[in-house]
Amino acid sequence: MKLLFDLFPVILFFVTFKYAEKVPAEAASLVASLLGSAAVDVKQAPILLATIVVIAATLAQIAWVRYRHGKVDRMLWISLALVTVFGGLTLVFQNEAFIKWKPTILYWVFGVSMAFSAYVLKKNPLQAMLGEQLKLPAAVWHTLTLAWIGFFAVMGVLNLAIAFNFSTDTWVNFKLFGGMGLMLLFILAQGALLSKYIEEDQ
């Protein structure tokens, strides 16, 4: 359930884009009315409408978290800031390139923040989050952190490769299924690596 909630904005982005692709003229008219614009490029209408929806969905997601838990995770605030800035630029200039950069910047922010914590602050971020649940050697925590930093770096590059070398439709599919699929495979691979330590601890 939490996974679906975390993916809520991405899922709405995907659904909106796919629907708007089927009715681009209506999507362009709706975007024009929402933005108060005289004209909207019909070809850009699906991504523009999806961008409006993902900004609204992220705001709603944070409002709900704040209401239910009283505190919003820092990464959610970063995600909101990025989707607002890059989504806003997409809407102002009616140029999908900006929103396509957003996942890459988010991946790289995650990676850089982990590297900064580990190598500048000398505090392993994964151990800080999971140390109470998992008892691992320091070398293993270090390896896991390096793996996540590398994963975020590669995902950022891969997003750009898909975004600017394939159709927007392909990128939207990758954003939901490809990105989440690779994340799941990466987590499963780490789970297999950690299984022996969990068994030893038990």
**pLDDT value, residue 134:** 75
Nearest to residue 41, comparing CAs of 93, 106, 94?
94
pLDDT tens, residue by residue, 113-134: 999 999 999 898 888 887 777 7
Residue 198 clears pLDDT 70, i.e. is over it: no
pLDDT tens, residue by residue, 131-170: 777 778 888 889 999 999 999 999 999 999 999 999 999 9
Average pLDDT, the chain: 90
**pLDDT value, residue 194:** 77
Alpha helices by DSSP H, the chain? 2-6, 8-22, 24-35, 45-69, 74-93, 97-119, 125-130, 138-165, 168-173, 179-201
In order, the DSSP letters of 60-107 are HHHHHHHHHHS---HHHHHHHHHHHHHHHHHHHHT-THHHHHHHHHHH
Its pTM surpasses 0.85? yes
pLDDT tens, residue by residue, 27-84: 999 999 998 877 888 999 999 999 999 999 999 999 999 988 888 888 889 999 999 9
**pLDDT value, residue 45:** 95
The stretch 74-96 carries a mean pLDDT of 93
Length of the chain: 202
**pLDDT value, residue 1:** 53
First to last CA, the chain: 28
**pLDDT value, residue 153:** 97
Structural domain boundaries of the chain? 1-93, 96-202
The stretch 185-199 carries a mean pLDDT of 79
**pLDDT value, residue 200:** 52
**pLDDT value, residue 191:** 82
